[in-house]
Amino acid sequence: MNNNNNKIIPILPVYLQKQIIKILCEFINEKNRVIEPITIDLDYRSHESIIKKLTMKLSLVCKLWFKTVSENLYVSVDFNFSDSEYSINKRENMQILKLHFNHPSNYYYKMIRGVETPIENQEISDTIKTMNQLESLIFRNININGSESHELNFLDLIDCNSISRPGGLEVLEVEIHSDTDQLKLDHLKSTVSKVFSLIINNCQSKEIIIDTLKHWNQSIHQFYVVSHSSSIPPFPWKSLSLSGYLSNIQYYEIYGIDLRLSTLSTLLKSSRNLKHFSFSICLDKFIYFLNKILNIDDINNIDSNNNNNNNHNKIKKNKRYDMVEKLIMKQINQVRRNKKSNNQGNKDEDDSDSDSDSDESDDMDIDDSDESDDDDNNNNDDCNKIIKCTCHSLIFSKTNINYYNNSEFNDSMEDEKPNQEGIEEDEDEAKEIRVFRNEWLHFRSIIENHNSLESLHIGQECKENGEVMEFSQRKQRSIKLSNAFVKEFGSMISSIAPLRKLSILGLNSDQLIRYISSINKKITKYFHVESIMDDGSYAHDDTPTIQSILVDNPQITDLKHTKFVFTVQKQLFNDLYNGNEPFNTNVLNDLLSFKENVIFLYKK
b/e per residue 347-384 (b: at least 16 CB within 10 A)? eeeeeeeeeebeeebeeeeeeeeeeeeeebeebbebbe
Higher-confidence residue of 376 and 229: namely 229
What's the Cα-to-Cα distance from 10 to each of 13, 22, 59, 509, 530, rounded to whole Å? 10, 21, 21, 61, 60
pLDDT at 315 over 60: no
Q: Cα–Cα distance between 296 and 80 in angstroms, integer?
A: 65
| Average pLDDT for 305-322 | 42
According to DSSP, the β-strands at 136-142 and 251-254 are: unpaired
Higher-confidence residue of 572 and 485: namely 485
Three-state SS for 65? helix
pLDDT 10s digits, 547-569:
888 999 999 999 888 877 766 55
pLDDT 10s digits, 142-180:
888 766 666 778 888 888 777 767 668 999 999 998 888
Please provide the DSSP assignment of 499-549 as one string. --EEEEES---SHHHHHHHHH-TT--EEEEEEEEEESS------HHHHHHH
The DSSP call for residue 407 is -
Please provide the DSSP assignment of 351-389 as one string. HHHHHHHHHHHGGGPPP-TT---HHHHHHHHHHHTPPPP
Q: Cα–Cα distance between 485 and 404 in angstroms, integer?
A: 25
Non-local CB neighbours of 425 within 8 Å, separated by 6+ positions: none
According to DSSP, the β-strands at 558-567 and 593-603 are: antiparallel
First to last CA, the chain: 45
CA angle 382, 385, 387 (to 5 degrees): 135
The DSSP call for residue 271 is -
Residue type, 210: I
Residue among 197, 192, 242 at smallest CA distance from 220: 197
pLDDT 10s digits, 404-422:
333 333 444 433 333 333 3
- pTM beyond cutoff 0.95: no
Q: Cα–Cα distance between 262 and 407 in angstroms, integer?
A: 12
pLDDT of residue 442: 95
The rounded mean pLDDT for the chain is 76
pLDDT of residue 428: 78
pLDDT of residue 155: 85
Give percent of the chain above pLDDT 90: 40
Beta bridge partners of 503: 457, 527
CA angle 506, 510, 511 (to 5 degrees): 115
Q: Within 10 Å of residue 283's Cβ, how many Cβ atoms?
A: 29
| Average pLDDT for 48-75 | 95
pLDDT of residue 91: 93
Counting Cβ atoms within 10 Å, is residue 585 exposed (0-12), middle (13-18) or buried (19+)? middle
